[in-house]
Amino acid sequence: MIDEKLRALGIELPLPAEPSFNYVPITLHGGVAYVSGQMPKVDGAVRVFGKAGAEVDLETAREQARICILQGLSCLRAELGSLDRITRVLKINGYVASAPGFNAQPKVLDAASDLLVEIFGDAGLHARAAIGVAELPRNAVVEIEMTVAFRD
């Protein structure tokens, strides 16, 4: 069902990103999946670099947030076998590498939130934190972690 929704939206999930460091992409516990921070990787690599409000404009940062969500969903599908097992997106935490004075982190993360609602409907509504940071790994502009409920 979710795969059909993705096709209808013209969305193809990327291959799940492989961790470069000492962590796992997903931890499952008690019907909750904790998704490690996802970078906006395209074909396995971050392609947009810098800080929102300086080298990266708002719209580009929003696109990067959407890519992070697609990466997270790809990891979830690999771990759960199907995105249809997701019953609710509980929370996302988004980190935006921000130039001094840039305070539109919520607008950047709205792109991720909107995408989750497009895909999951009301089950995609979630709690959220939108946090401005000085730097992110690989000089990426956005990193997003998710927490979702799933059925066994």
Q: What is the DSSP string of 56-84?
A: B-HHHHHHHHHHHHHHHHHHHHHHHS-GG
How many other CB atoms are found less than 10 A from the CB of residue 23? 9
CA angle 32, 75, 96 (to 5 degrees): 90
Length of the chain in residues, anyone?
152
What is the model's pLDDT at position 20? 85
- Assessment of whether the complete model's pTM goes beyond 0.85: yes
Domains of the chain as residue ranges with CATH: 2-150 (3.30.1330.40)
Task: In whole angstroms, give the CA distance from residue 90 to residue 37.
Answer: 15
Condensed to tens digits (0 to 9), the pLDDT of residues 82-110 reads 999 999 999 999 999 999 999 999 999 99
Tokens of 98: 């921000």
Condensed to tens digits (0 to 9), the pLDDT of residues 9-42 reads 999 999 998 888 999 999 999 999 999 999 999 9
| Strand intervals (E) in 4-141 | 26-29, 32-38, 41-42, 45-46, 86-97, 127-133
Condensed to tens digits (0 to 9), the pLDDT of residues 110-149 reads 999 999 999 999 999 999 999 999 999 999 999 999 999 9
In order of 8, 129, 134, 152, the CA distances from 97 in angstroms are: 32, 14, 5, 36
Is there a contact between 127 and 91 (Cβ–Cβ < 8 Å)? Answer: yes
% of the chain surpassing 70 pLDDT: 100
What is the model's pLDDT at position 102? 98
